[in-house]
């Protein structure tokens, strides 16, 4: 009988994980865009724990509550997509760096990052409940929880996830150099976002770390897509023409 050797199976293995990473990005971006498109934010300036009571009160007066919490839903889906990405990433790192503890670090930081984002999304759902804006102090307390979990804590753990993958891939030369260096830059910017817990000016590092990390996820997806198509195109004809023959 004839058996065709599956030469691309191993190379295609990270692809579902890359799709999950892309879904993580798309769902999070949707959480930022859809509320404005649906008129839920009404063009109001965003508030943070550093905003004054007057600014928060004005925000509550200008925005809508008791409606579908679309931002919370999208960020929860983003967290679940990241959770799906983690085991694929850990397996990928384990295969390219089997002698190191990098795979365990990928699994730990990725799981914690997804948990922080899911907790932040849940707290955002609370902010959307009827009457929650009637008590300014309660609203601010929940808003602080959203910030602590969904900003610095989530960004820095995601940055550590990206940085660990980039470091392992750089040493193994498994990914393009530009993508590895971008991953290391993401880790550095994300680490600096922790300063936002002490200084208002450092809150700028939160979006810098978050969106540069999203660029890395998109870059990873594109690289694996091109690599997968290239391997399929070059190896499939060869596999079809060169079967392995054995005796039944």
Q: What is the pLDDT of residues 121-161, one digit of tens each?
A: 999 999 888 788 888 999 999 999 999 999 999 999 999 99
Cβ within 8 Å of residue 175, ≥6 positions away? 166, 169, 220, 223
> What's the confidence (pLDDT) of residue 61?
81
69 near 76, Cβ under 8 Å? Answer: no
41 near 33, Cβ under 8 Å? Answer: no
Reading the block at residue 43, the tokens are 């063009």
- Position 172 in a domain: yes
Angle between helices 177-192 and 152-172 (to 10 degrees): 150
- Position 45 in a domain: yes
- Position 194 in a domain: yes
- Position 6 in a domain: no
Q: Residue 203 is part of which domain span? A: 16-226
Structural domains counted in the chain:
1
- Position 91 in a domain: yes
> What's the confidence (pLDDT) of residue 10?
44
Distance CA 75, CA 83 (A): 12
Provide the β-strand partners of residue 244: 3
- Position 233 in a domain: no
Kindly report the average pLDDT of the chain as a whole number. Answer: 85
- Between strands 2-3 and 244-245, the pairing is antiparallel
> What's the confidence (pLDDT) of residue 247?
38
- Position 31 in a domain: yes
Cβ within 8 Å of residue 198, ≥6 positions away? none
Q: What residues of the chain score a pLDDT lower than 70?
A: 1-15, 42-43, 64-67, 229-248
> What's the confidence (pLDDT) of residue 237?
52
> What's the confidence (pLDDT) of residue 245?
41
Give the chain's count of helices (H) and strands (E): 9, 2
- Position 84 in a domain: yes
């Amino acid at each position: 009988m004839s058996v065709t050797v599956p030469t691309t199976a191993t190379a295609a293995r990270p692809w579902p994980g890359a799709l999950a990473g892309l879904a993580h990005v798309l769902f999070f971006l949707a959480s930022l865009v859809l509320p404005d498109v649906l008129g839920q934010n009404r063009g109001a300036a965003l508030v943070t724990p550093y905003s004054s009571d007057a600014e928060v009160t004005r925000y509550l007066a200008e925005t809508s509550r008791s409606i579908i919490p679309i931002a919370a839903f999208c960020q929860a889906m983003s967290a679940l997509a990241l959770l799906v990405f983690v085991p694929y990433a850990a397996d990928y790192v384990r295969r390219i760096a089997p002698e190191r503890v990098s795979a365990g670090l990928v699994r730990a930081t990725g799981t914690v990052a997804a948990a922080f984002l899911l907790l932040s999304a849940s707290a955002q759902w609370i902010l959307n409940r009827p009457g929650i804006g009637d008590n300014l102090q309660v609203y601010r307390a929940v808003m602080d929880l959203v910030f602590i979990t969904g900003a610095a804590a989530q960004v820095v753990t995601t940055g550590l996830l990206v940085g660990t993958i980039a470091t392992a891939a750089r040493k193994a030369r498994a990914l393009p150099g530009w993508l590895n260096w971008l991953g290391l830059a993401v880790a550095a910017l994300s680490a600096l976002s922790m300063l936002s817990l002490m200084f208002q000016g450092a809150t700028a590092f939160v979006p810098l770390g978050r969106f540069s990390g999203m660029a890395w996820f998109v870059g990873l997806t594109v690289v694996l897509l091109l690599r997968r198509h290239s391997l399929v195109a070059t190896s499939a004809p060869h596999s079809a023409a060169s079967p392995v023959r054995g005796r039944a």
